[in-house]
Structure 1
Amino acid sequence: MDRIARRRQAVMDEALTHAIDIMTEKGVGGLTVVEVARRSGIRGPSLYKYFDSLHALYDSLFARGLQAQLGAVRAATADAEPGVMRMRAAAQALVRWASANPALAQLLFWRVVPSFTPSPTTLAASSQDMAELRAELREAVARGELRPEADTQEALRLWTVVLSGVISQQMANDPGATYEEGTFSQLTDRAVDLFITTYQNPIAGGPHATTGP
């Protein structure tokens, strides 16, 4: 990357950091190009050289949030046993990340800007995330931990409903609390247990069903 490209990336990174601060302070819908530019020390029109619209700014924030979320989950599951145990570790990491990054989590999990839709390029990473989760469900079935019904789109949707429910309740009703202290984030393992119980293979027994507090 040459000097000009590095400078451009630095300006964009700084702008995104300011944007996250603004969303944290004023809500995701309170983000404006003018305020981001002011905090970045540049004129409003100049920011359009880096983000051609407010939606482009939101798209970059969505991409940054998704990348950070996936990074947190992959780091937490790197050494986890495949199947149900890795799914549990992923769930804990996801809720922990959302608790620590509420502004980006709202952008990812809530439709807080009704007119905004992530670009196809940005959504491709989200699709890859879903593909990896589906592969984990398939692995749990192959290991005999879950019944074949778990390797379906319905089960995948239910998993997202369970975790997004925990995250939404935590952000809406106990904002600012840590993962360990949050009224709802503390229920992550219990919520995962409910999902696992729904699809658990009775032959496998229950050694992986409850490992949390």
Structure 2
Amino acid sequence: MSAAPNRDRQAERREATRREIVDAAWEIARRDGLAAVTLREVAAMIGMRSPSLYSHFDSKNAIYDAMFGQAWTLFLAEAEKNFRDLPEAPREALLAIVRHFYDFSVTDVARYQLMNQRSIPGFVPSEAAYAPSVQVIDLLQRTFHRLGITDGADVDLFLALGGGLLERQLANEPGGDRWLRQLPRVIDMFADDLDLPGPPLRSTT
């Protein structure tokens, strides 16, 4: 009979506290904006004294770093799942990719801002926190190759077109779909330029 593996309960408690701190930081960011996250506010929310936070995170930017890594890890997991079920037609697949990114972004604007904008002066994600975003780009490139898009400049253009529409939507009509409705047209323009096969996504009537 084999002995049960030893559990490092102290490490488990420490990790649970770190998650609680990050969750509190997200709650503040979603309520008041990313810039409103402070060590004092986070500590008060979880019933901890501010100096005690330093035994878990050595600075506010370290908390942002954990938030950044968590957000991209979540998006990577969702993307890996969604990309397995993409439509066969390249245009429909491209539309599904960008719609997934839209849905993920608009459901949590603070998370989107931390992931994709330089919204925190002086904050640069660590290599470990940045790694999931690199994996997302690698996944995109492999998926695009499968769809017949092999030029890195074309991938860049696709990201700029989709991201630009999303920025307009969030800046000018949060919660609406004015720019979201342009996606089929933009995907068609992109696909036409690359001579991708398939019927147009937008109505021709």
CA separation of 1:183/1:20 partners in 2, compared to 1, >3 Å: closer, same or farther? farther
Moved over 4 A (4+): none
Aligned with 1:191 (options 155, 165, 186)? 186
Compute the RMSD of aligned alpha carbons.
2.1
CA separation of 1:14/1:187 partners in 2, compared to 1, >3 Å: closer, same or farther? farther
1:26 partner amino acid: D
Pair 1:151-2:150 in alignment: yes
Question: Which structure has the bigger radius of gyration?
Answer: 2
Aligned residues: 196
- Alpha-carbon distance between aligned partners in 2 of 1:132 and 1:124, rounded to the nearest angstrom: 13
CA separation of 1:83/1:55 partners in 2, compared to 1, >3 Å: closer, same or farther? farther
- Alpha-carbon distance between aligned partners in 2 of 1:71 and 1:50, rounded to the nearest angstrom: 26
The percentage of aligned residue pairs carrying the same residue is: 27
CA separation of 1:90/1:15 partners in 2, compared to 1, >3 Å: closer, same or farther? same
- Three-state SS of the structure 1 residue aligned to 2:24 is helix
- Alpha-carbon distance between aligned partners in 2 of 1:183 and 1:27, rounded to the nearest angstrom: 24
**Is 2:79–2:136's contact at 8 Å kept on the other side of the alignment?**
no
Q: Deviations along 1:157-203, whole A, 9 cap, x unmatched?
A: 1121112112212221222x1xxx433234333333332222124xx
What are structure 2's unaligned runs of at least 5 residues?
A: 1-6
Counting only pairs closer than 5 Å after superposition, residues 7-46 of structure 1 correspond to structure 2 as 7-46=13-52
**Is 2:76–2:135's contact at 8 Å kept on the other side of the alignment?**
no
Q: CA deviation at 1:83?
A: 6.8
- Alpha-carbon distance between aligned partners in 2 of 1:166 and 1:72, rounded to the nearest angstrom: 21
CA separation of 1:88/1:8 partners in 2, compared to 1, >3 Å: closer, same or farther? same
**TM-score, normalized by length of structure 1?**
0.83
Counting only pairs closer than 5 Å after superposition, residues 130-141 of structure 1 correspond to structure 2 as 130-141=137-148
Q: CA deviation at 1:211?
A: 7.0
